[in-house]
Amino acid sequence: MKLRLQAIQDLLSRYGQVFRAAWDIRHQLDAPPRQGHELAFLPAHLELADTPVHPAPRWTMRLIVLFALLAVLWSAFGKLDIVATAHGKLAPNAQVKIIQPLDTGAVRAILVQNGQRVKAGQALVELDATQAGADAAKSRAARLDAAATVVRAQALLDAQAQNHPPRLASIPGLPVNRQAEAQRLAEGQYGEYRDKLAAQQAELLKRQAELDSTRRQIDKLKQTAPLARQSADAYRDLAKDSYVSRQDYLQKEQERISQEQDLAAQQSHARELAAGIEEQRRLVDATRSQFRREQLDELNKAQQLLTQNRSEETKASQRQQRMRLTAPVAGTVQQLAIHTVGGVATQAQALMEIVPDDTLEVEASIGNKDIGFVNADQDAVVKVETFPYTRYGYLTGKIIKVSNDATQDKKLGLVFSARIRLNQSRIKVENKWVNLSPGMAVTVEVKTGQRRVAEYFLSPLVEYAQESFRER
């Protein structure tokens, strides 16, 4: 083995010596240089042999070898970007707003048209609000009536407690004539109550005076009745001894009996008067209590009606306001579905769409093969199909969200949704800035890494080599 290697080494050394010797005498082997006119006078075979080869093929071969060498170096050291491509469309940052009426109504006015830009709160469509306005007016009138009743009942309660004429507080929204009417009604009710109470109190005073008079009469009889009894007893003793006539005695006895019966009768009458006075006092108290109870009941009912009517008025006012549809956000009107004034807009009918003026974003669908390399905060290049990027350039943006679960797409299969925020929402076309519109189709390219050029060309071969010769 050693001798074989030595022989090969000697052979290569000999070839090297021969190559160097030939290289040293290479100029001697060339034909002597001749001018063109000299070659013309040589024989044909010598002219052909002595004419030098044209340099173009030689330089062509040199360039081919150089390009091949550069290609090999570029494939070995050069790198290409690995790009994940996804398709999608432009969409506003906020979702498209669908304008729908909450109630059915006739169209009174259409204030916008397709493509028109509107501000937030701008009127879009007016529906007939006649019924809603009538309901609101009816509820408002009922609320004012209930409020007037509440104020009147409270004023009557205060007047009874403080013993002064009722003074009604001002009711916001109530006309002056209605306010004056409520004041007069309260004064009339209070006057009726005072008259009734005064009559009962007068009757009470009358009975009290009768009782006082009866009591004075009783006091008088209590003083004279014993005297009449003593006088009758004395006449009885005198009559027994015949000092006085029996007729005189009987007269005194009659006076005694009369005064005692009068005393008993007056005492009974006094008790009746006292009972009547107590009953009259209860009647006066009952009148006061009844008046207070009536006003409290009316106040309670009126407060309940006031609360109910306020709610009804609020509902009616809101319904009236809902008859005037306004833009929830600033944006552009699209998909206008009504065009006839006087037509009927049904409840929850989609009348139009408002595309917000917010910063545009891209909704893209990323395939399963690329999702493992796409993450949030990566830069992205967005190419708008409407404007070829080779002529008008492209947009840049950043991925802000990538879904965690795939959805089924009929054409692409399982895909992951992603949102890309654009750095600008316009593109320059023929030295003029053009605003992009939601719905434009785009292609998104996300740089996921780099690889050598040789890897790009050799990866299919490596893949086929790894997967070949293993089939059953």
Q: pLDDT: is 108 or 54 the higher one? A: 108
Dist CA 363 CA 318 (whole Å): 37
Dist CA 442 CA 471 (whole Å): 41
pLDDT digits (tens, 9 = 90+) for 371-404: 888 888 888 999 999 999 888 889 999 998 888 8
Q: Which of 209-218, 225-234, 320-329 has the highest mean pLDDT?
A: 320-329
The pLDDT of residue 463 is 66
Tell me: pLDDT of 237 over 70. Answer: no
Which has the minimum average pLDDT: 21-35, 74-88, 172-186, 261-275? 21-35
Q: pLDDT: is 94 or 340 the higher one? A: 340
Which has the minimum average pLDDT: 86-95, 97-106, 125-134, 454-463? 454-463
Tell me: pLDDT of 98 over 80. Answer: yes
The pLDDT of residue 276 is 74
Dist CA 235 CA 8 (whole Å): 196
Q: Are 437 and 90 in contact (CB under 8 A)?
A: yes
pLDDT band at 102 (very low <50, low <70, confident <90, very high): confident
User: Could you give the percent of the chain with pLDDT greater than 90?
Assistant: 3
Q: pLDDT: is 138 or 382 the higher one? A: 382
pLDDT digits (tens, 9 = 90+) for 3-56: 778 888 888 888 888 888 877 777 666 666 666 666 666 666 665 666 666 778
The pLDDT of residue 55 is 76
| Sheet arrangement for strand 344-345 | 324-326, 123-127, 105-110, 344-345
- Tokens standing for 426? 């316009």
Q: pLDDT: is 165 or 453 the higher one? A: 165
Q: pLDDT: is 7 or 464 the higher one? A: 7
The pLDDT of residue 360 is 77
- Tokens standing for 430? 């023929």
The pLDDT of residue 64 is 92
Tell me: pLDDT of 132 over 80. Answer: no
The pLDDT of residue 318 is 77
What pTM does this model have?
0.48
Between the alpha carbon of residue 446 and those of residues 41, 378, 452, the distances in Å are: 72, 7, 18
pLDDT band at 441 (very low <50, low <70, confident <90, very high): very high
The pLDDT of residue 384 is 92
The pLDDT of residue 442 is 92
Mean pLDDT of 106-132: 85
Tell me: pLDDT of 239 over 70. Answer: no
The pLDDT of residue 215 is 74
User: Could you give the percent of the chain with pLDDT greater than 70?
Assistant: 83
Residues facing 355 on adjacent strands: 332
